[in-house]
Amino acid sequence: MANQQPQTLASEARHKKILTIVFTIICVIWVLPVVCVAINSFKLNTFVKTETFALPTEESFAGWSNFITGMTFGNYPFWSAFGYSALITVLSTALILVCCSMAAWYIARVDSKFCKVIYTLCIFSMVVPFQMVMFTLSKTADTLKLNTPWTIPIVYLGFGAGLAIFMFVGFVKSIPLEIEEAAAIDGCGPVRTFFLVVLPMLKPTLISVGILEIMWVWNDYLLPYLVLDINQYRTIPIQIQYLKGSYGTVDLGATMAIILMAIIPVIVFYLSCQKYIIKGVAAGAVKG
């Protein structure tokens, strides 16, 4: 019996080492495209085409010229695209957090068939492919004048509501109802109860949902491309596609540089906020 325990521990240690090696290999494969983009962003355009997977040499090394070119060429300023991306991301995320948290609180506390139907539709919307609705959506957004950076957050609210409400409902159900009853006894109405009592307790899920929505909206390419007037408003992904020379004679070095500048902040943001995402998912989905 005494000999079996060391053998079991040694077997578990070997198993963990094998898993570590396997997942390390998977992670390396996963980040290879990003590494390839980073390498090619420092090459001259000709060598990006002919030596795609090779490291820069003295002959092929372009220095920072690709980044300078990517930031300056074209008929549309890169910083305008950056500003529109930031504006759309902030407004959309704020709208989703406020509206969906209130809707989730109502759904969780009001036990009616109507609320159950609304909740089911929100969950169902999470599995509906965007391609099923993109043409009718773009037509509707254009008709209702939702095709500007200041109004497209309403469209994002509809798409982001499913995940947000699902997570918020799960967390609200874990909040004791007696806390809200005590607030009502103290004279709080529904609005004050939500903003002064419920909303502060939703902080873990608010942060988690906010992080996920920020990453989704910032990286989204298809929805702004279909809805916005891209001759007047461009987000960063659209700007990358419409860089001068992107069609026909392509300056791949400059394009790689801009792609790298767009994705590196997202990677850093995700790695920095990963623990908050886990906390929010655990607090919302698991408890629900």
Q: What is the pLDDT along the chain (288 residues), one digit of tens a residue?
A: 555 666 676 777 788 888 889 988 988 888 888 888 888 888 888 888 788 888 888 888 888 888 887 777 656 677 888 889 999 999 999 999 999 999 999 999 887 899 889 898 888 888 888 888 888 888 888 888 888 999 999 999 988 888 899 889 988 888 888 888 888 888 888 888 899 889 888 888 888 888 888 888 988 888 888 888 888 888 888 877 776 554 456 677 888 888 888 888 777 887 787 777 776 666 655 444
- Residue 186 has what pLDDT? 85
Other CB atoms within a 10 A radius of the CB of residue 258 amount to: 23
Residue 69 CA to residue 52 CA, distance in Å, equals 20
Put simply, whether the predicted model's pTM sits higher than 0.75 gets the answer yes
- Residue 280 has what pLDDT? 65
Q: Which residues contact 217 (CB under 8 A, 6 or more apart)?
A: 88, 89, 92, 93, 156, 160
Residue pair 96/167 in contact by the 8 Å Cβ criterion: no
Residue 169 CA to residue 131 CA, distance in Å, equals 27
Angle at 80 between CA 76 and CA 81, to 5 degrees: 80
- Residue 245 has what pLDDT? 52
**Exposure on the CB side of residue 106, measured as CA atoms within 13 A:** 14
- Residue 288 has what pLDDT? 46
Residue 182 CA to residue 65 CA, distance in Å, equals 64
- Residue 106 has what pLDDT? 92
* 43: β partners: 61
Q: What are phi and psi of 105, to 5 degrees?
A: -60, -45
- Residue 88 has what pLDDT? 94
- Residue 149 has what pLDDT? 92
Residue pair 260/41 in contact by the 8 Å Cβ criterion: yes
Length of the chain: 288
Residue pair 128/217 in contact by the 8 Å Cβ criterion: no
In the chain the first and final C-alpha atoms are separated, in Å, by: 43
Task: Give the dihedral of Cα atoms 135, 138, 139, 140; nearest 10 deg.
Answer: 120
Instruction: Identify each DSSP E strand in the chain by its residue range.
Output: none
Tokens representing 241 are 């596609």
